[in-house]
Amino acid sequence: MQDNDLGNYRKVYKKKELSKKEVPENPMELFQKWFYEVEEFGGNIEANACTIATVDKNEIPQNRVVLLKKYTWEGFIFYTNYNSNKGKSIENNPNVCLSFFWHNIERQIIIKGKAEKISENLSDGYFESRPDGSKLGAWASNQSEVVPSREFLDKRLASFEEKFKNKEITRPKNWGGYIIKPISIEFWQGRPNRMHDRIKYTLQKNYDWKIERLAP
């Protein structure tokens, strides 16, 4: 394999800035503001795409991209198969890290917190809103398990298409939502000369947020 030196990859960040004096007391307000600005700025096809890091039972971390489906004052919600690798890791260790990178506006957000399952009725409500194909996919895929072939998956999907033909497609009990309740949220804004703006919110015992600037 030919060596590929990426040392000359360079980008100058200069689109925005982030001042500690101007940020709100609650980080969820700033998250909402940034999320809307990313969509308005354009360039991100899926602004809700984010990376979630979990730690398995052997204390080995794993990252993967998921889609954020809702955020509230309480936290960040995504959906998955509870028996997947991420689901098993969360069951073993609920401490997770969620991160967004929006290259079009030179921003990232790093969220540390604890994940817990949302109520079944909330998972039911979201599942009902999904297209039928996605609903059937949740039944057909035993996420993260080894399968013999693509044909095996296609046959499983076909079997559930037949099973639910002309019937309501109910939510599998092993599929649903998690909410990540943050304990810290860091907002990163790219700046020239690698002197980036980093503002970190840390949740205190009285549920107020401590706001600090970090060195880039």
Residues taking part in catalysis: 194
Asked if residue 101 lies in contact with residue 38, where contact means CB atoms within 8 angstroms, the answer is no
Q: Which residues pair with 54 in a beta bridge?
A: 62
Q: How far from 76 is each of 4, 50, 112, 175, CA to CA, in Å?
A: 38, 11, 11, 17
- Collapsing DSSP to helix, strand or coil, 170 comes out as coil
Looking at residue 143, what DSSP letter applies?
A: T
> CA 112, CA 27: separation in Å to the nearest integer?
13
Token pair 């304990």: residue: 183
Amino acid at 73: W
Contacts 24+ apart (CB under 8 A), 132-139: 132/169, 135/169, 135/171, 136/160, 136/161, 136/164, 136/169, 138/81, 138/171, 138/172, 138/175, 139/164, 139/169, 139/172
Instruction: Determine the Cα–Cα distance for residues 60 and 21; give it in Å rounded to an integer.
Output: 39
